[in-house]
Structure 1
Amino acid sequence: MHLIIVSGRSGSGKSTALDVLEDNGFYCIDNLPAGLLPELAERTLLQTEMLQPQVAVSIDARNLPSQLERFPDLLAEVRARHIQCDVLYLDADEETLLKRFSETRRRHPLTHETRSLAEAIRDESLLLGPIRDLADLQIDTTHLNLYQLRDSLKLRLLNKPEPGTAFLIESFGFKRGMPIDADLVFDVRCLPNPYWKPDLREHSGLDQPVIDYLAAQPDVDEMYHDIHSYLHKWLPRFAASNRAYVTIAIGCTGGHHRSVYLAERLGKTLKPQLKNLQVRHRDLQA
């Protein structure tokens, strides 16, 4: 059995996550009372006609606070049954969540006469702390549109060719914010920037002219070897500690040239060592 628990603040994309999982064969339940989680897992194991059932449930701030506080014990009870269980936590910055609610004009589940939308969003983060702290995978949806979120979910949750830790090397641009879901962050803004070369500006780190330019820079090559040496040594130890997901973020100014080039190069050289490894470019289309 494969159970995925989806949580996160309202407006972060939980409904989209359930839609993606349902489209990929998961039986999905929205707003499950957290206290029913062990019973749901047990009944699914006993009664399903599927050889390997796939179930996804959403547990969020609509639950009673006392149930959310019990989440660590409830999760441990499920995993004690030797059920593969992934906890996905989605979030976005407060400004983005406020904007999304303003655009949709939906009511936040925690708002009332004496609690504003901004206060509800902040309180929700505290309520969901027990789930967030145990999340196997956190995804920051601040800079993701609907289609990018769908692609990210498919890449991280569903595209795991082999069991074990799933690694993601992600390029990004600091001007659009550092990814809050990164486990390791490498800042490569000190390297020569192709943006200042007029003939390279419109290209990306995936294009041969930029690849040739950066490959010829001694500082770029030195940075690559230092990062590669660190990851080559330490990522297998992350895997040995039973981490389900590890995200390595490589950041330059705009996320178009240097970080893209290094993420691609690192991905190609580390892939033989780390089978469950993908490369993603967060800001390449920005």
Structure 2
Amino acid sequence: MNVNEHDSRTEHAGDGAQVSTGTPNEKTPVPDAAIPELVIISGMSGAGRSTAAKCLEDLGWFVVDNLPPALIPTMVELGARSQGNVARIAVVVDVRGRRFFDNLRESLADLEAKNVTRRIVFLESSDEALVRRFESVRRPHPLQGDGRIVDGIAAERELLRELRGDADLVIDTSSLNVHELRAKMDAQFAGEEEPELRATVMSFGYKYGLPVDADLVVDCRFLPNPHWVPELRPYTGLNDEVSGYVFNQPGAKEFLDRYTELLQLVATGYRREGKRYVTIAVGCTGGKHRSVAMSEKLAARLAAEGVETVVVHRDMGRE
């Protein structure tokens, strides 16, 4: 991702974000209906936080960059007192405010106690992609000190490990450009009404590695590979003949039926636990035939069950 040459520059600019918080009137209760929706954007430096924040800003969110976590509840309260003028707030939390990370857990607990609807979006990327981006803009990593860029990346991963585990949505931007990242954000946040659950079904090839942002992984390599059928090899799982070949194999339809039933059970649990996003990775050897065909059918089944679904074929175009 040349995620971004522009994105990396903007992420490291303006280290001193200033927010005028004023003095809320503690004696005036704030009705729950007035409490704004909150999204916390975090993740690895260079992974696209600024692009994600800009996308939400374009969608009408009130965006605050580099806000100390201890001030997040105050920001939400001020939004609640804006008489509906600030209904959705996005806050970017990153290592520039690392001395405040100890306050983040306390702030999240405070928000939960106040019934604030909050989501955490975590931007992830591979070490190789991050190094490439920092080198392209000739900027040091915020945590590398006197060491190398990879040292800073390792320190940041450790610092953010717990927050990544708490994230509602993890986006891996290793192979995304700016426009593709914006499309992912639009798909998740552009609608006026939030669906109960949103799913991304991603086909991939095992020989290119597992998707790091997958919540669930499905292996289709138990099915015969159309790659070894000469007349099917040039095509992909989007082709009717390839898809027909895949689903005419013993166990293919049964697998689709059973896994759809399993996902219905999992989706019920996700909704109950307040998880709004799930990424289902469907793999085969090269990510071109079996996984693509299975992903398309699985996404159609989920959509028929009322789950808003996006299909991504990560490796379909690779040789």
TM-score clears 0.5: yes
Mapped partners of 1:70, 1:236: distance in 2: 32
Return the offset for 1:101. Answer: 1.0
Q: Which residue of 1 aligns with 2:115?
A: 82
The number of residues matched between the two structures is 283
Cα distance 1:146–1:196, how it changes in 2: closer, same or farther (>3 A)? farther
What 5-or-longer segments of structure 2 have no aligned partner?
1-35
Indicate yes or no: 2:310 matched with 1:278. yes
> Is the contact made by 2:125 and 2:172 (CA closer than 8 Å) also made in structure 1?
yes
Given candidates 76, 83, 89, the residue that maps to 1:55 is: 89
Which position in structure 2 is the counterpart of 1:92?
Answer: 125
Aligned to 1:8: 43
- Structure 2 counterparts to residues 133-148 of structure 1, below 5 A: 133-148=165-180
In the alignment, is the contact (CA less than 8 A) between 1:68 and 1:131 conserved in 2?
A: no
CA contact 1:4–1:87 (8 Å) conserved in 2: yes
CA distance in 1, matches of 2:59, 2:66: 20
Matched letter for residue 177 of structure 2 = N
Q: Quick check: which has more Rg, 1 or 2?
A: 2
Aligned to 1:40: 75
Partner of 1:212: 244
From the superposition, tell whether residues 253 and 230 of structure 1 become closer, same or farther in structure 2 (CA, over 3 Å). Answer: same
Tell me how far apart the structure 2 counterparts of residues 2 and 236 of structure 1 sit (CA, whole Å): 23
For residues 240 and 34 of structure 1, the distance between their equivalents in structure 2, rounded to whole angstroms, comes to: 27
Rounded Cα–Cα distance in structure 1 between residues aligned with 2:266 and 2:144: 45
TM, length-normalised to structure 2: 0.81
- The one-letter amino acid paired with 2:56 is L
Secondary structure at the residue paired with 1:263? helix
CA distance in 2, matches of 1:138, 1:31: 19
Superposed displacement of residue 122, structure 1? 0.5
State yes or no: 1:171 paired with 2:206. Answer: no
Instruction: Answer yes or no: is the 8 Å Cα contact 2:203–2:313 preserved in 1.
Output: yes
Shift of 1:161: 5.2
5+ unaligned residues in a row in structure 1: which ranges? none
Q: Which amino acid aligns with 1:62?
A: R
Residue number in structure 1 paired with 2:217? 185
One-letter identity of the residue aligned with 2:284: C
RMSD: 2.1
Aligned amino acid, residue 92 of structure 1: S
1:160 to partner: Cα distance = 7.9
1:119-171 per-residue CA deviation (whole Å, 9 max, x = no partner) reads 11110112223422221111111222222222222223435854423222222
**What letter corresponds to residue 65 of structure 2 in structure 1?**
D
Percent sequence identity is 37
Q: Does 1:73 align with 2:106?
A: yes
Q: Which amino acid is 2:153 matched to?
A: I
3-state SS of paired residue (2:166): coil
CA contact (8 A) 1:72 1:134 kept: no
